[in-house]
């Protein structure tokens, strides 16, 4: 997705350290109104991915910025969580953290678009989210790149859910 930008940086004589991530755990904050209103989270059913904790991404960025001796591989580094999860998996893990039985209900892209626009999300963001949900390929890939950069393994989504449960209450 960012190959053109990376090429421009290299062509300018720069050697960027490239960090990429897929689905951030914090994206689930968009479910807060639904979780507070009931036990069903609905939305487009995106392909399974290795959801990564945004704190791990931040720690990896810090490690890259503090690489004063240029010892880090320039990447790209694909930052992932340790397990591949579906939306239903994420909702179930969030429910476990909240001690509730939550379930995921897939809805069509058109219905999801309509709901997000009604909720007040910007149209360009909504279109980008819908396009990503329709085009994203399923990934079974996990990496150890968080650990290589930070010195500790990536956190699980279950841990993230426990740490952020109060936000959903």
Domain 21-104+136-168 is of which CATH architecture? 3-Layer(aba) Sandwich (3.40)
Report the pLDDT value the prediction gives residue 85, as an integer from 0 to 100.
96
**Segments making up each domain of the chain, as ranges:** 21-104+136-168
pLDDT in tens, the chain (169 residues): 577 877 887 788 887 788 988 789 999 998 999 999 999 999 888 889 999 999 999 999 999 888 766 677 777 899 999 999 999 999 999 999 999 999 999 999 999 899 889 988 899 988 888 888 888 788 889 999 999 999 999 999 999 999 999 999 9
Specify which residues 21 forms β-bridges with.
79
CA angle, corner 118, sides to 114 and 122, nearest 5? 90
Longest dimension (CA), the chain: 53
């Amino acid at each position: 997705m960012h190959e053109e930008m990376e090429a421009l940086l290299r062509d300018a004589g720069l050697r960027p350290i490239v960090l990429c991530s897929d689905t951030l755990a914090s994206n689930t904050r968009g479910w807060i109104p639904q979780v507070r209103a009931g036990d069903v989270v609905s939305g487009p059913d995106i392909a399974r991915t290795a959801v990564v904790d945004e704190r791990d991404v931040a720690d990896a960025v810090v490690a890259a910025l503090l690489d004063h001796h240029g010892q880090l591989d320039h990447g790209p580094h694909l930052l992932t969580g340790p397990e591949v999860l579906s939306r239903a998996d994420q909702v179930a893990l969030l429910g476990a953290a909240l001690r509730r039985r939550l379930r995921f209900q897939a809805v069509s892209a058109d219905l999801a678009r309509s709901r997000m626009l009604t909720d007040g999300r910007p149209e360009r963001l909504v279109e980008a989210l819908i396009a990503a949900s329709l085009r994203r390929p399923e990934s079974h890939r996990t990496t150890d790149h968080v650990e290589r950069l930070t010195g500790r393994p990536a956190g699980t989504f279950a841990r993230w859910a426990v740490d952020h449960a109060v936000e959903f209450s």
